[in-house]
Amino acid sequence: MNDSPINAIAAVQHANPYPYYALLRQGADLTFDTHLNLWLAAKAGVVLEVLAHPAAKVRPYNETVPAHLAGSTVGQVFSQLIRMTDGQTQQQAKIWLAPRLHGWSDALVRQQTLLVISALQQELATAYQRPAVALFDDIMLLNEFIQQLPVRVVAALLEFNPSQAKMAATAIADFIRTLAPSAAHDAAVMVAGEQASQLLLGQLQLLMPPVDLHWQRANLLGLLMQSYEATAGLIGNSLVALTEQQLWPTLRADPRLCLPLVAEVVRYDAPVQNTRRFIHADCEIAGIALPAGSTVLLLLAAAGRDESVYPQPEQFRLDRLQQTNLTFSSGAHQCPGQQLALQISAVAVEFLLSQTLPPLQWRYRPSLNGRLSWFFSDLDTQSSDPAGAKP
């Protein structure tokens, strides 16, 4: 995978897509990819312009949910997610969610993350009959730990008990699998996803006030979704950065640097590499006339290395002044869970610094927009192919 990505979607899984992204930034403000039938935006200023444009929406015109989800409980949840809707309804939901997230102080998130780490470490040690202190000698257990931890922490913050949080991690995986277009042709995946969504919504209803609304539960379920992929991706990519930048000794000497580390990873090797905007009305963006029906692929990872925004963007710097990071979007759709993701990831990395890990190698799991590390070692070559892994 040392060659250039074949296109901007394939770049997500490429070993090093950043030279390719740099070439795109050096080109026109918007370029059209005839193979993908998408406009590409790689420059930070253009990405911001698209995100702020009133004609650029998060879903195609007249398709609030993917066609294969229409009429399902999964589709109903999808149609109510803050990140999948626009306008006044979306903003009202975001206003409702913000105080709940702000109520989870950094100290509380750290406490819950440490509790979940301890429980998960012991659970995996028991299940796989390994000493807890040598748990990650099996690199597959590192992958499982990273995947399970964030969603269990968010579930704990939502007041799920430990067994319910474990259930949530499994159910969210089933839910997410239904979102892939290929799920339309897999009845078993669709049935499992429908059961998972009903189970999660039912559990959330038990924890909510009697007057709760379906859209409120849908967006709490959305927090679990985001933690399962994006936050897990951030933890994994932070381990990649520690290895590539040879920072293990530095961070072990000063674990307080874990938060600056994960914040820089968000910019330098984003766990969410791109997002889409669908043009609902004829308009002009970056001097280009875009007809209604156009789609723009916003290359957030490319924008994260835009030299017009970040000095010396190709350098990984723990002392970089924090700036708005487009990985968490901007404007109406700026992710309200940014601080939560950073805190969970920083505590997870701090814990993993104290563990004995084998030499790490990695590939990236299949995804359209997430850069999700999958670790293996020389002693475990069978785990080198993530294609069969559960998303």
Give the 3-state secondary structure of 230-279.
HHHHHHHHHHHHHHHCCCHHHHHHCHHHHHHHHHHHHHHCCCECCEEEEE
Q: Would you list the domain boundaries of the chain?
A: 10-388
Closest CA to 151 of 227, 260, 69: 227
Rounded CA separation 340/193 (Å): 26
What single-letter amino acid sits at 144? Answer: E
Q: How large is the average pLDDT for residues 182-199?
A: 96
pLDDT value at residue 379: 57
CB distance 270 to 262 below 8 Å: no
Weakest mean pLDDT among 89-103, 117-131, 158-172? 89-103
Give the right CATH number for 10-388 from 3.40.50.300, 2.40.400.10, 1.10.150.80, 1.10.630.10. Answer: 1.10.630.10
Q: Which helix (H) or strand (E) holds 76?
A: helix 73-80
Q: How large is the average pLDDT for residues 346-358?
A: 96
Does position 383 have pLDDT exceeding 70, yes or no? no
Give the strand pairing for 373-376 and 361-364: antiparallel
Beta bridge partners of 276: 297
Give pTM, 2 decimals.
0.94
Query: Which tokens go with 240?
Result: 């990649």
Q: Which residue has the tokens 């209604």?
A: 292
Strands (E), the chain: 31-33, 38-41, 56-57, 275-279, 283-285, 288-290, 295-298, 361-364, 373-376
